[in-house]
Structure 1
């Protein structure tokens, strides 16, 4: 998974555009209204997201409808999943160490004091 995916989504305007597209296909003018950015800026960011594989465009007569491409987000999910599994294993070991030392959970310790 390329770090370029994170660089693409690091821009706050592009994240607002992605958020606007989460609910489905939208025209540029709808995205402009939601994102609060001028039409030229939205068009530029949509082109960047399209080139990076995050967005697809479907022509519909005179309109261009934009939507998210799931594939690119699945790549991000897979990359993040590896870290989540790593952290879960560490937390399980930590929990086992706490249980082995019979240290009461924080909530119980605070209630006893």
Structure 2
């Protein structure tokens, strides 16, 4: 069963795992050491990320290394792009409204 990217990204542990992989591949034991979770729990999160296509696994001897697979993240970014324009416009409108409000120092 394939895991959808949004479901995989919904979990904060999985997002932190992806952040840990930005600088390069890491062994599962190294990744597990960054969390207050058991190694099997971290492995389960990595499995979800792998099923969603967000990481790839590379066996090296008795260890498994995980690599970030950024392609699905680029697709999410493309999907979110129109919403960025929407929120940017909303924030600009809010800034303009706040700029119109008098401050305590300027009671005009």
How high is the TM-score relative to the length of structure 1? Answer: 0.74
Q: Specify which structure has the higher proportion of helix.
A: 1
Name the SS of the counterpart of 1:112 in structure 2: coil
1:69-111 deviation line (CA, Å, top 9, x unaligned): 110110111111110123334566x48xx6xxxx88247x214
Q: How big is the shift at 1:20?
A: 1.9
Question: Which structure has the greater CA radius of gyration?
Answer: 1
Aligned to 1:112: 106
Instruction: Give yes or no for contact 1:28–1:43 (8 Å, CA) kept in 2.
Output: yes
Q: 1:88 to 1:35 in 2, by over 3 A?
A: same
Give the aligned length: 102
Residue 5 of structure 1 corresponds to 5
Distance 1:104 1:71, change over 3 A: closer
For residues 105 and 69 of structure 1, the distance between their equivalents in structure 2, rounded to whole angstroms, comes to 43
1:65 aligns with 2:76: no
RMSD: 2.4
What's 1:83 paired with? 83
Aligned mates of 1:104, 1:86 — CA distance in 2: 19
On the 8 A contact 1:20/1:35 being kept in 2, the answer is: no
Unmatched segments (≥5 aa) in structure 1? none
Q: Aligned with 2:33: secondary structure? A: helix
